[in-house]
Amino acid sequence: MVNFRNALVAWSCLLSLGVAQAQWAGLTPWSPPWLSPPLSDWQRANQLQQLGGARWLAQGVNGHGVIVAVLDTGLNRQVADFANWQRVLPGINAIDGSQNVQDESGHGTQVASLLAAPINGAGVVGVAPMATLLPIKVVAGDLASSAAVTAGLQAAQRAGARVVNMSLAATGPTATQALKELAATDRTLVVVAAGNQGQPEAAWPARYAGTAWAQGTMLVVGAVDVNRQLASFSNQAGSAAAHYLVAPGVNIQGAGTSGTLTLSGTSQATPAVSGAAALLLSKWPYLRASQVGAILLQTADDLGAPGVDPVYGHGLLNIDRALSPVGSFTYRTARGVTFTVPLSSGRVLSSQPRVASPQAFQGLITQVFDAHGRHFTRDEGQALAARTRLRLDTLLGQDGLLGELSLRPLGAGLLGWSYQAQTRPTQSPRGPWGPADPFSPQAKAPLAQFHAWQWRSPTQAGAPTGWQVAVGDGGTATMALGAGSLSGLDGIQHTAWAPQEWQSWLASPLIGLSPKHRLGAIGVPLAPGWQLRGAWLNPQADDSQARGRLQATELHHEGPGHRLNLNFSVLDEHGFLGGYSREPLGLNQQTRTVGVTLAGAWQLDTHWALGLQWTRADSPAPANHGLLLASTRLLADGHAVGLMRRDTWVPGDRLSLTHQAPLRASQGSLTYQVIDQVDPDTGVPHYAEHTVQLKPEARERLTELRYTRPDGPGRQWAVALAWRVHPDHDATASAELALGLSYNIRF
């Protein structure tokens, strides 16, 4: 018998109201919200945009609070960018000690604008448009004396500059002692142009970056063109390769006395790196200068020969990557517990089903630290906030079933074999658990296969309370224990006409927590009509979902027109009643849940049947782990009731009304210790407690009206209407309505 149910021949439609919205997870191209229409200077934010820094502006990463000193030819305050801009400190003339920093050449003004020109609708936009600019004039005419540079560096240090931009180059050692003193503090990053001689080595003082005393507090910047090729004029990394990176430096538009001024040189590349450093320091003020340098180097895009090379050094500055976490995330608690998870593990969704609403974890936010010790905000609750939806295929048949093949070669029910192909492993039986989560990783799983063998004692043929043995491999869809049957091969219809459709929700819901497994089961006759059953469900090793190892013992009774089932299950899972293994939340540990399910079906008269199911589950509190500080025992319960009428309009038709309340926590809480803020100056975290109450405010209820009508041998119409209130126990979620119609042919 080959049975293609539902998938190949069914026609159906779905009405769905108020479905959950998909989580916004990706990044979209960003344009500043205040630019409508775009300001003219924003269009000249070339370096910021090319280097991936633009989107960070929207998050307030703009250089605010960071003093950047520009040691150059001075600053022309008359240019449109700086005319009325408050974030320019009184200038320092390091040549004569005055405050006169009038810029005769325009070089210093142009360089400063590339670093810190504000978004003001005029001129250009710098990489760090809200940084505080400290203009220090060290160049008069074309010449800078070592004494002036020394005085300029000392002035910058006194003023508290965190970044010093030096778009200047000399043929010999310059300002050595002042640079040494600055490096010793590890507080100020010195960013120096490589020089424009087209040489294989950087000029001075850039070449100092590689010396031991610099301790990584100096960076050397070369220039590339729009094609990411090193500009012919740019000095190469040479022996400073370990501290060298490049930025756009050909035809760079900056502020000029008559609008804008376009220049080329390593002078123009240098402020891009200085600006990026200011962005890092505005977001993480506690970073040391050497840390900022290391981050910018490590996150640069490799150019030229693979790896750090003597031409491009570390490669092209990438502001977006520099501001993004590097390496892994480390969680810290006040108890001294730290643990590290890969960056990629941050976005896994919770698996279904679960007993608490995703809403419960809302607001569970903590700070975590990347490989450079920078804190990042992590919304742990968000990762669990995936929502489920009512699905048409769950409504009309087995979830994801593509086809089914079954054989009973020995006749009289002696031996049976069944094979099913599914679009994905069925995570839970329909019914008390509700439908599977379409957003879960499982929904993208490849085709799943399921097969089972069953043997039943010949003497008890037709009576499922004799000897039975079943082994299977795959999903749980038809392996439901409980009042349904020992396995899907053997429907409930043999002795009572209580509907096979009820089989899934009359089973123990805990089985649904062992979503993909191997199964062995045996049924032993105790007395006429009584059977003792034992079942073992072992998870398959390749299943990355929360894995449940289930042992079930049940007492089964069948009599004329009724059947009863008492099921005790012990579930050992890596998780918490189906919750996904989230290490930071302590939900990845082995948890044992003991559950009891009582189910029964009664034939009331020749037309009516009644089904009832009730489940209670008891889990000990997870041990303290990760952010989890304390927890209490979890209790959950669920129930379902169904009423069916047969032969209403035509012989063999079925009209049923079922009402299900999926398992829901009735007690339990988890208390987490999170970092709610990090001191900006010291990086010291402040700890707070966050308690998650697992008992949801609302209770999900699924009501389903279904009518099936035979249409000749092996053919059947089915129509179903389902109404789901408070999906996922979420009091704020809209109700869902689904209507489905199918026509099934069995051949």
543 alpha carbon, distance to own chain's centre: 19
Beta-carbon count within 10 A of 664 CB: 22
The verdict on 238 binding Ca ion (CB under 5 A) reads no
The verdict on 81 binding Ca ion (CB under 5 A) reads yes
The verdict on 304 binding Ca ion (CB under 5 A) reads yes
Cis peptide before 173 (omega within 30 of 0): no
Nearest to 565 by CA among 523, 617, 625: 523
Question: Coil, strand, or helix at residue 13?
Answer: coil
Q: List for the chain the helix, strand, coil content (%; round to 5).
A: 20, 35, 45
Question: Coil, strand, or helix at residue 54?
Answer: helix
267 flagged as catalytic: yes
Question: Which range binds Ca ion by CB under 5 A, 302-310, 461-469, 692-700, 717-725?
Answer: 302-310
Cis peptide before 584 (omega within 30 of 0): no
Cα separation, 415 vs 410, whole angstroms: 6
Strands 468-475 and 516-527: antiparallel
Which is the catalytic residue, given 41, 72, 399, 437? 72
Please, which residue, 263 or 535, has the CB nearer to Ca ion? 263
Count residues near Ca ion (CB under 5 A): 9
Nearest to 509 by CA among 603, 404, 430: 430
Question: Is the alpha carbon torsion for 508, 514, 516, 521 positive or negative?
Answer: negative
Which is the catalytic residue, given 107, 375, 562, 726? 107
Residue 73 CB, shortest distance to Ca ion, in Å, is 20
Residue 229 CB, shortest distance to Ca ion, in Å, is 13
Binding characters for Ca ion, 252-291, by CB under 5 A (x = yes): ----------------------------------------
The answer to whether 481 and 536 have CB atoms below 8 angstroms apart is: no
What amino acid is encoded at 240 in this protein?
A
The answer to whether 244 and 192 have CB atoms below 8 angstroms apart is: no
What amino acid is encoded at 92 in this protein?
I
The answer to whether 619 and 577 have CB atoms below 8 angstroms apart is: yes
Residue 55 CB, shortest distance to Ca ion, in Å, is 19
For Ca ion, the binding residue among 3, 102, 120, 449 (CB under 5 A) is: 120
The verdict on 301 binding Ca ion (CB under 5 A) reads no
Please, which residue, 81 or 490, has the CB nearer to Ca ion? 81
Residue 123 CB, shortest distance to Ca ion, in Å, is 4
Cα separation, 357 vs 726, whole angstroms: 10
The verdict on 123 binding Ca ion (CB under 5 A) reads yes
Please, which residue, 61 or 130, has the CB nearer to Ca ion? 130
What stretch of H or E contains 616? Answer: strand 608-619
For Ca ion, the binding residue among 186, 225, 309, 676 (CB under 5 A) is: 309
Question: Which range binds Ca ion by CB under 5 A, 120-128, 268-276, 351-359, 524-532?
Answer: 120-128
Please, which residue, 112 or 138, has the CB nearer to Ca ion? 112
The answer to whether 68 and 112 have CB atoms below 8 angstroms apart is: no
The verdict on 117 binding Ca ion (CB under 5 A) reads yes
Residue nearest to Ca ion (CB): 41
Please, which residue, 120 or 693, has the CB nearer to Ca ion? 120
Residue 311 CB, shortest distance to Ca ion, in Å, is 7
72 flagged as catalytic: yes
DSSP per position, 464-529: TTS-EEEEEEEESTT--TTTT-SSTTS-GGGT----GGGTTTTS-GGGGGS-EEEEEEEEEEEETT
The answer to whether 310 and 208 have CB atoms below 8 angstroms apart is: no
The answer to whether 282 and 66 have CB atoms below 8 angstroms apart is: yes
The verdict on 161 binding Ca ion (CB under 5 A) reads no
116: phi then psi, degrees, rounded to nearest 5: -140, 20
Which residues in 24-63 contact Ca ion (CB under 5 A)?
Answer: 41
Please, which residue, 309 or 676, has the CB nearer to Ca ion? 309
Question: Coil, strand, or helix at residue 673?
Answer: strand
Residue 36 CB, shortest distance to Ca ion, in Å, is 17
Q: Provide the terminal-to-terminal Cα distance of the chain, rounded to the nearest Å.
A: 7
Please, which residue, 64 or 180, has the CB nearer to Ca ion? 64
Please, which residue, 309 or 473, has the CB nearer to Ca ion? 309
Please, which residue, 304 or 435, has the CB nearer to Ca ion? 304
Question: Which range binds Ca ion by CB under 5 A, 304-312, 491-499, 647-655, 662-670?
Answer: 304-312
Please, which residue, 43 or 251, has the CB nearer to Ca ion? 43
Residue 516 CB, shortest distance to Ca ion, in Å, is 45
Beta-carbon count within 10 A of 33 CB: 7
DSSP per position, 123-166: S---SSTTSEEEEEE-EETTEE-HHHHHHHHHHHHHTT-SEEEE
Residue 322 CB, shortest distance to Ca ion, in Å, is 17
Cα separation, 41 vs 312, whole angstroms: 30
The answer to whether 504 and 431 have CB atoms below 8 angstroms apart is: yes
Pseudo-torsion of CA 460, 462, 463, 469, nearest 10°? 70
Which is the catalytic residue, given 113, 267, 274, 581? 267
Residue 56 CB, shortest distance to Ca ion, in Å, is 18
For Ca ion, the binding residue among 186, 201, 225, 302 (CB under 5 A) is: 302
Residue 32 CB, shortest distance to Ca ion, in Å, is 13
Question: Which range binds Ca ion by CB under 5 A, 220-228, 300-308, 668-676, 731-739?
Answer: 300-308
Binding characters for Ca ion, 310-349, by CB under 5 A (x = yes): --x-------------------------------------
Q: Name the DSSP letter for residue 462.
A: T
Please, which residue, 81 or 730, has the CB nearer to Ca ion? 81
Residue 110 CB, shortest distance to Ca ion, in Å, is 13
> DSSP alpha helices (H): ranges in 352-457?
392-396
The answer to whether 172 and 258 have CB atoms below 8 angstroms apart is: no
353 alpha carbon, distance to own chain's centre: 19
The catalytic site residues sit at: 72, 107, 267
Binding site for Ca ion (CB under 5 A): 41, 81, 117, 120, 123, 302, 304, 309, 312
